[in-house]
Amino acid sequence: MSQTYKIAVIPGDGIGPEIVKEAMKILHHIEEHASYSFDIQYALAGGAALDQVNVPLPNETIQICQEADAVLLGAVGGPKWDHNPPELRPEKALLGLRKELGFYANIRPVTLLPGMEERSTLRPEVIDGVDLVVVRELTGGIYFGEKKREKTKQGEIASDLLVYYDYEIERIVRLSFEMALRRKKRLTSVDKANVLESSRLWRSIVERVAKDYPEVVVDHMLVDNCAMQIVRRPTDFDVIVTENMFGDILSDEAAVITGSIGLMPSASLGNGNKGLYEPIHGSAPDIAGQGIANPSATILSIAMMLRYSFADENAAQAIERAVTQVIADGVGTPDLVKSGQPAICTHEFGDRIIKRLEQEW
């Protein structure tokens, strides 16, 4: 009997349902050509869940995601829920899901697709051939350490504790070495070891784990220098691994290289093959319902799902080639085409990618 993979699908809010619809067309197309099949379960989260069941992350959704091999998420949030109290914010759903499912590594590939050079704010000769991945630690660091605020005689003080356990560092460092091994075999570990004790622990663990990966060339870079090098010579990087807050900042910075936020996929991974796949952009309420959202980031997230959760590298690359070629032909949603050029709508763009994908089999 052929293998069946369970996929939980959370369309979410704003443009979420529009872009997820296109990604699902791709998944169904893959299923027709692959030796495995999919068992798809839709689930509620974010604003859609608040509207229907008054909580951002229903238990039923957690259960569906726990039983799934992979989760596809559109986007959550929007102005309708902006004034909700903290525990009733749509964004709560995302943090909750990552935690419940044990996803500690956020993977953001950054590539420059042909035809997008002019859309990037960086010079074409600087970004030509960029192909890097930022791996950000998701569950530890300063975002989760003890927070304090108190009034003292000298004045009011506030503090955020930056804590890492050795095992938290080791698991993400190993995952990054494995990734580098499958790519260009270069790993840049980013820290602030000249001032932070947590960075010194981080660095020593990278050195230790590196002994198990002699084929991978490792270097250490201070975060301030990395922030500069990522826009100065981005083609020098392969895999960048760093802690939570540094990764948050560097991955957004790296996104400017690609020219449109509508092109960037992501995966959140833990131990094992299970993952959560989503575009890096938000629910884009300003363009929701107009049929002009770019579905590429979500479709490329499907490619990541096939690569990391279902080990089908061929299908992943076929999707990436199809998206790349359609865009290289100058076809796209308004965010992709040159000003003055005609654009096509979300579902036409999805259809063009499918047509291109058909030629790949």
**What is the contact mask toward ligand ATP in residues 78 to 117, using x (rule: CB under 6 A)?**
----------------------------------------
The verdict on whether residue 136 carries a ligand-binding annotation is: yes
The item of Mg ion, ligand ATP, none sharing an interface with residue 65, based on CB under 5 to 8 Å by kind, is none
Catalytic residue among 6, 143, 160, 351: 143
**Separation CA 24–CA 301 (nearest Å):** 11
Pairing of strands 4-12, 275-279: unpaired
Q: Closest Cα to residue 350, out of 333, 328, 330?
A: 333
Quick one: how far is CA 36 from the chain centroid? 25
Minimum distance between the CB of residue 279 and ligand ATP, rounded to whole angstroms? Answer: 6
Catalytic residue among 128, 252, 329, 355: 252
CB 226 within 8 A of CB 192: no
Which residue bears the tokens 């690569």? 307
The verdict on whether residue 81 carries a ligand-binding annotation is: yes
The identity of residue 8, as a single letter, is A
Tell which one of 101, 187, 293, 306 touches ligand ATP (CB under 6 A). Answer: 293
Is residue 148 among the annotated active site residues? no
The item of ligand ATP, Mg ion, none sharing an interface with residue 9, based on CB under 5 to 8 Å by kind, is none
Asked if residue 331 binds ligand ATP (CB under 6 A), the reply is no
Residues touching Mg ion, count (CB under 5 A) = 1
Tell which one of 137, 248, 312, 335 touches ligand ATP (CB under 6 A). Answer: 335
The verdict on whether residue 47 carries a ligand-binding annotation is: no
Is residue 224 among the annotated active site residues? yes
Q: Please give the residues from 243 up to 262 whose contact with ligand ATP meets the rule CB under 6 A.
A: 261-262
Asked if residue 332 binds ligand ATP (CB under 6 A), the reply is no
Helices (H), the chain: 16-33, 47-53, 59-67, 92-101, 124-127, 166-182, 197-210, 223-232, 244-255, 296-308, 313-328, 346-358
**DSSP-assigned beta bridge partners for residue 131:** 111
Q: Closest Cα to residue 150, out of 163, 159, 141?
A: 159
Asked if residue 294 binds ligand ATP (CB under 6 A), the reply is yes
Q: Please give the residues from 59 up to 78 whose contact with ligand ATP meets the rule CB under 6 A.
A: 77
Query: What number of other Cβ atoms are within 10 A of residue 208's Cβ?
Result: 12
Angle at 14 (CA atoms; ends 12, 17), nearest 5 degrees: 50
Tell which one of 98, 282, 321, 360 touches ligand ATP (CB under 6 A). Answer: 282
Asked if residue 282 binds Mg ion (CB under 5 A), the reply is yes
Is residue 39 among the annotated active site residues? no
Which residue's CB is nearer to Mg ion, number 42 or number 143?
A: 143
The verdict on whether residue 252 carries a ligand-binding annotation is: yes
Asked if residue 230 binds ligand ATP (CB under 6 A), the reply is no
Pick the stretch among 44-52, 60-68, 234-242, 290-298 that binds ligand ATP (CB under 6 A). 290-298
Which residue's CB is nearer to ligand ATP, number 17 or number 77?
A: 77
**Separation CA 78–CA 285 (nearest Å):** 6
What proportions of the chain, in percent to the nearest 5, are helix, strand and coil? 45, 20, 35
Is residue 131 among the annotated active site residues? no
The identity of residue 201, as a single letter, is L
In DSSP notation, 198-226 reads HHHHHHHHHHHHHTT-TTSEEEEEEHHHH
Minimum distance between the CB of residue 294 and ligand ATP, rounded to whole angstroms? Answer: 3
The verdict on whether residue 279 carries a ligand-binding annotation is: no
Tell which one of 94, 276, 287, 323 touches ligand ATP (CB under 6 A). Answer: 287
In DSSP notation, 12-49 reads ESTTHHHHHHHHHHHHHHHHHHSSSEEEEEE---THHH
Binding stretches for Mg ion (CB under 5 A): 282
Q: Which residues bind ligand ATP (CB under 6 A)?
A: 15, 19, 77, 261-262, 281-284, 286-287, 293-294, 297, 335
Known binding residues for NAD(+):
78-91, 282-294
Q: Tell me which residues are annotated as active site.
A: 143, 192, 224, 248, 252
